[in-house]
Amino acid sequence: MKNILIVLLLLSSIALFGQEMPSDSLILKTIYGKTDIGGESYTCEYLGENIVSSYQDSLVFQIVFKSEVNLNNNDYILAILKARYGTQHGHQFGYEDLYFLKTVQGELELVDSIKSEFGVIGDESIYDIVDIGKNKKALISTFQSIGNQQFYRTESIQLLELNKLMNLFSVEKYSDLAWNLPASENDDCNATSYEETFEIVTNDSDWYDIKVHRVEYGFTKGCEDSFVISESDKEYKYINGEYVEKTNE
């Protein structure tokens, strides 16, 4: 009996070890062949055009998200890397690349990637992987920026495939309060502010539905306090390649 318990413990340990997420250093070394000192980043020369304000002459890629994901009945590790390079009007620019890796005979290998163009990447790095339908995975990514004295926050839902991302849906939070502050506390406040949140509604169809709750805000004189103007709920269904609002018809 004792020997059986030892064997079971060994098998459990092997299973747990096999499920361990590779270190950032190992992932970076697999992608680039080397890492910076410390193993937490990879630096390369920036060869693009200087279209934004920056004092950098290099790009520093770091892993901002990593997770196991099953696509087409194959297990992969998804690693998302960001490299920041310069700002313009308060917006952060740079690169955001996705890499798919898997362990083959005990060795981590790079399988595929989705490379980005140089552009706005936002101030935050918040991601999640969810089910969006039967055997369908979606990447939820959050873009946030405070450029031009306006607050932007967009949560995007994208169909995740091995070498492609397809935009499915997005919700927003927005406020231009900082841009519209009046000169006097007795002046009207003309700021715009609203927030949308979503919920994925599971069902028996190939694609799940998406429910959106939207709140619009107004402001008292002088923009001192906010209040709710309206609230609404809408539900969206996937039809012919896109999510459209459900109707009672």
8-16: average pLDDT: 42
d(CA 129, CA 138): 6
pLDDT in tens, 137-187: 999 998 887 767 788 889 999 999 988 899 999 999 999 888 778 767 778
With b for 16 or more beta-carbon neighbours within 10 A and e for fewer, the 191-217 pattern comes to bebeebebebeeeeeebbbbebebeeb
pTM: predicted TM-score of the whole model, two decimal places? 0.81
Residue bearing the bigger pLDDT, 121 or 2: 121
| Domain range summary for the chain, segments of one domain joined by + | 21-121, 123-249
201-223: average pLDDT: 94
Indicate whether 190 pLDDT > 70.
Answer: yes
